Structure 1
């Protein structure tokens, strides 16, 4: 069960007890999609790790996932960002780190449960997908010619500046 994430390496195996400890740290129930991801792939590097995201109102950018966080990394990241008011108000749990400044998080509150967001130190919080499965469908290989072709098609269809 990998939700479309092509993992090269798996992290250390965890149990429900580890997830319960994480829930205490973040003071919230962990969405089932994230529980399943962590139980099967607690940390690890990705082969298919790039996706498009909207920067500002009109520009798409390609971003890449550095790794899926382990439970320990989630706890550390969550605690490190606990003084950041934008992060705290977002009601997300970080679960992946980006190449570059930022993290990918999943919503845990009633209004955003299961939704995927990018929290970027430069651009703030942006919505990315309605679910982890939908987000995984957005992942693409990073072949530059194919990527450029897809971006140009996207620009043509949406009239957004790339």
Structure 2
């Protein structure tokens, strides 16, 4: 199946957005996770507004990339491939079978992690640190998913 012009334009747009979001997330990760950034630093965020802004940027960009990939690019790509677009869980299972993501379960783990980063932000510095540290690792997972989805669009000549 070949997507129509509107579908191809949507895919091109989403691929551009995903590329920018992935670059911004990786840049923020590099700036945030430097020597001395640990649970103690998290507990002193109120005294360091620039660091707090960087944490906020990381959390926001992590969530934004995950949303753009899972809620926008993936359904658009599945539709262009002639696949049935269904629930998020079904779409992620299909993406895993197609090799676009490594694991649907990991995707849901990242979603829970994102929620933890957002909701534990003020309450518990140790939980926030653990979530941010896990998010640092999962940034590579998100980036790989972005690369694979964009590559699929490119390989099919839809870019």
Asked if TM exceeds 0.5, the reply is no
Higher-Rg structure is 2
Shorter-chain TM-score range: under 0.3
Q: Which has the higher strand share?
A: 1
The alignment's TM-score, normalised by the length of structure 1, stands at 0.22
The alignment's TM-score, normalised by the length of structure 2, stands at 0.22
More contact order relative to length (CA 8 Å, sep ≥ 6): 2
Q: Which has the higher helix share?
A: 2
